[in-house]
Chain A
Amino acid sequence: MENKNPLSPHLQIYKWQISSLLSITHRIVGVVNFFSIILICIWTVFIIFGQNNYQIIYNIFNSTFGKFLIISLCWTFSFHILNELRHLIWDAGYGFDLKVAKITGIVALAGSFVLTILFYLLGRSFF
């Protein structure tokens, strides 16, 4: 017999924890990265076919939206890299302590912004 009783509320009432927030962000950012890599592949292939193509891409990326997009992607990659490191450490059996997990989480989040700035500075001064 199917239980027709109501389901108690879950997402609606449960308070976000730092750990759960970072976990869902990791997931969303992973999906974003998946699509952005496809975008980057298409973009690089596009450039192979000449200078005019490059101009089109340049115009897109040089717009406000384009700049926002690129810096956002720098952040999504940064965050995913750092948070994935946390997962690697967990897989090795360390860092499960509640305090440690909280600290590494905050470090990963703060570090992702630092890394984004580094990406930006590197990109600017390299070429």
Chain B
Amino acid sequence: MVQFNLPQNSKIEVGKYFKDKTNSKNLRKVNIYRWDPSTGKNPRVDTFEVDMDNCGPKVLDILFKIKNEIDPSLTFRRSCAHGVCGSCAMNIDGVNGLACIKSHTDIKGDLNIYPLPHLKVVKDLIGDLTTLYKQYESIQPWLKVDQTGQEKTELKQSQKEREKLDGYYECILCACCSTSCPSYWWNGDKYLGPAVLLQAYRWINDSRDGDKKERLKKVADELKLYRCHTIMNCTNSCPKGLNPAKAIGSIKKMLATS
């Protein structure tokens, strides 16, 4: 059953207020979701006053500034800081995105930062993506060929065939799309979600792959695939500008016409 409200232990409380100590005139309020597993308390939203005169341009810069100068216990994932690894995916100002490539100057008013929606929180801004990775594994994201290994020959791909993967191979699996999808919120255990389906399409579409029919058969499922209702939150949130909705539409079309 769809549950619109947050469970009792997830209700967000008002948190601490960190007042500015630098006497800066260019202050910005940043509200950040906090949850510490060691306290046993409900999650809260802390507010930080950040001196914007001495802060980098991206949301990740703000997070680092807070961690370094105000509250070192703030926890978030990050790695490359260049929009390539997908670690710092979070909900910024109501839309999922990567903190490292999102400019805070694009956002008006107070800055609200939450973890990716509808995930079990590990700590602060870190959500548990175990289910998504399991689903990713279930589509077998590797090249499957009929070769036995003895006759190993090069699998050639024409430029045209390679172009078919454009817009799909760029996916970094940051999970922004899947966790923006209401269908995935309500049926995340069964519905594969945009990220995994985009990946599925990437392998279905690969001219070198020898398992296209089996792959299609595997995703052709009322729950796995057809929970997509073209809400398009996925495409709206993709930080790499990809189009998972189109990938899912293409799979549906392939199934309808094959």
Q: How far is the CB of B81 from chain A (nearest CB, A)?
A: 23
- For chain A, the bracket of interface size reads 20 to 34
Expressed in whole angstroms, the minimum distance between the Cβ of A98 and any Cβ of chain B is 5
Enumerate A1-21 residues with CB–CB distance to B below 8 Å: 3-15, 17, 19-20
Interface size on B, residues (CB 8 A): 45
Q: Are B230 and A7 in contact (CB under 8 A)?
A: no
Q: How far is the CA of A23 from the CA of B37 in the complex (A)?
A: 37
A96 and B246 contact, Cβ closer than 8 Å, known pairs A6-B35, A15-B94, A91-B253? yes
Please report the C-alpha to C-alpha distance between residue A19 and residue B232 in the assembled complex, in whole angstroms: 6
Complex: how many Å from CA A101 to CA B231? 10
Q: Mark out the residues of chain A between 77 and 119 whose CB falls within 8 Å of any chain B CB in the assembled complex.
A: 87, 90-93, 96-98, 101
User: How far, in whole Å, are A23 and B33 apart by their CA atoms in the complex?
Assistant: 28
Q: How far is the CA of A27 from the CA of B230 in the complex (A)?
A: 12
Known: A3-B128, A8-B121, A91-B253. A97 touches B9 (CB 8 A): no
B28 at the interface (CB under 8 A from A): no
Residues in A neighbouring B230, C-beta threshold 8 A? 19, 23, 87, 90
Chain B: minimal CB distance from A24 (Å) = 8
Question: What chain A residues lie within 8 Å of B232 (beta carbons)?
Answer: 17, 19-20, 23, 98, 101
Known: A8-B127, A23-B229. A15 touches B249 (CB 8 A): no
Q: Does A5 lie within 8 Å of B116, measured CB to CB? A: no
Which residues, 200 to 231 on B, are CB-close (under 8 Å) to A? 229-231
Most-contacted residue by chain A among B6, B118, B232 (CB, 10 A): B232
**B104 CB–A CB distance under 8 Å:** no
CB distance from A127 to the nearest CB of B (A): 39
Residues of the A chain whose Cβ atoms lie less than 8 Å from the Cβ of B75: none
- A13 to B116, alpha carbons, bound, how many Å? 10
B4 on the A face (CB < 8 A)? yes
- Interchain residue pairs with CB less than 8 A apart (15): A6-B6, A6-B9, A7-B10, A8-B121, A9-B6, A12-B6, A13-B112, A13-B114, A23-B229, A27-B229, A91-B252, A91-B256, A93-B253, A96-B243, A98-B232
- 10 smallest A-B Cβ distances: which pairs? A15-B94, A96-B246, A6-B10, A19-B232, A10-B117, A10-B118, A8-B115, A23-B231, A5-B120, A7-B10
